[in-house]
Amino acid sequence: MNDSVHIHAAPWVVPVDQPPIAGGGVALHHNRIVAVNTVAHLVAAYPDAVLVEHPDAVLTPPLVNAHIHLELSHLEQLGKGDPPDQFTGWILALLALRDALGATGDEVADAARKIVEQQYAEGVSVIADIGNTSVGQELMPHFAGNLLAFKEYLGFSNHRLGDNLARLGAESPDILCAAHAIYSTHKQLLQQLKRRANQNRAVLPIHVAETMAEIQMINQGSGEMVDFLVKRGFWEKDFLNEVNACSGGTITYLSQIGLLDERTLCVHAVHASDEEVTMLAKSGAKVCLCPGSNRFLKVGKAPVKRYLEAGILPALGTDSLASNPEVSIWREMQLLHLDYPELNDAEIFAMATKGGAEALAISDQGTLTAGMKADVLAVALPENMVDAADVLRYLVSAGSRVKPARIQHTWSL
């Protein structure tokens, strides 16, 4: 068993919870980070340490993909094709393709496994997967990082409510559960999911305010989403009485029914008024942005700057290959960089790391800080990186061509 401290040294270290360090290093002992500083400081503090040089690299925390649906990976032709005109058109196309290709089986599992391996190779160490099948659960032993496999609950109609509540009540407490969305999930089922998550001290992810159709359903009880539910026989007129008093959008509704607290993860959160951004911040609820999916489905752009101004550091998620031509957190950062020139590069990189860890309540990942897991990326840098601004710009703009090396210390031999 190797008991020495190892100092990994590189021209740049981006710890995320402090400014980039030129000539920096990360000291690892057993499976933890023990110090992050300039190499000179670390060598003085640990004179017997083993020094490992990473010339031409920047050391960073691993990435977090806070929202994906691995079980939809075999439906990639959807995300690589032309987006449908309407959001509900995309849902119908997804259901039809899934009927045609199947929702389980070897092809589904193989496609999902390929994505999990790709995520790890790209430097993702934490994945939050949402699924209706056991595909995500079955992949957990195959992911070298931390795969959180959430089982998704939905069911809008009154007559299925009893069954759904009973099914949820019978779940083992170690199974993580997610709610689908307000337009697909009965209010009482949402509330029970929240109570259960809080009892288990677990995060509850839910798709929130992804499209204007969802907002129109709440505000006016009409529009594309209502038509879709009516056509499929799921619409409940009760819903209108429920939301009559709700003058705002999805976030207002979620607040009114007691769904928002620090362990709620609002995925997408594209359509939020200023009041709702404040509401989210006050509740401590987390936000996960999916810029690639939002772009593909043309649902709009989330008010990212307003989230940051309100003190919310969003997480980033790729969503699935059914609504995104690529599932790469490096590309999600690149899209934010392109679509939001008002954001600074350090904020974008923090979303892909610290924001994701906070959103998923992972306390030992997300930054390079003493006490965190010994899990570090060494990202090769091109030449001509003059200062910290150049390094951060490269990290958030290079996209999926970044292929980081991994530094991990487990001392399990």
In the complex, the residues that contact Zn ion under the rule CB under 5 A are: 319
User: Which residue, among 352, 342, 344, 346, has the nearest Cα to 318 in the 3D structure?
Assistant: 352
What's the min distance (Å) between Cβ of 300 and Zn ion?
Answer: 16
Residue 243 identity (one-letter amino acid): V
Of 57 and 270, nearer to Zn ion (C-beta) is 270
Packed helices 388-397 and 329-339: angle between N→C axes, nearest 10 degrees: 110
268 close to 313: Cβ distance less than 8 angstroms: no
Of 130 and 226, nearer to Zn ion (C-beta) is 130
Of 221 and 300, nearer to Zn ion (C-beta) is 300
Q: Which residue is nearest to Zn ion (CB)?
A: 319
Of 295 and 373, nearer to Zn ion (C-beta) is 295
If you ran DSSP here, which 8-state letter would residue 141 be given?
Answer: G
What's the min distance (Å) between Cβ of 16 and Zn ion?
Answer: 25
Of 319 and 358, nearer to Zn ion (C-beta) is 319
Question: What are the residues whose beta carbons fall under 8 Å from the beta carbon of 19, sequence distance 6 or more?
Answer: 346, 388
How many helices (DSSP H) and strands (DSSP E) are in the chain? 18, 15
What's the min distance (Å) between Cβ of 378 and Zn ion?
Answer: 31
CA end-to-end distance (rounded Å), the chain: 6
Q: What's the CA gap between 346 and 14, in Å, rounded?
A: 9
Q: Backbone phi, then psi, for 29, in 5-degree steps?
A: -140, 130
What's the min distance (Å) between Cβ of 373 and Zn ion?
Answer: 27
Show the tokens assigned to 127.
Answer: 């994945």
Of 65 and 125, nearer to Zn ion (C-beta) is 65
Locus of tokens 């919870």: 17
What's the min distance (Å) between Cβ of 152 and Zn ion?
Answer: 9
What's the min distance (Å) between Cβ of 288 and Zn ion?
Answer: 9
If you ran DSSP here, which 8-state letter would residue 185 be given?
Answer: B
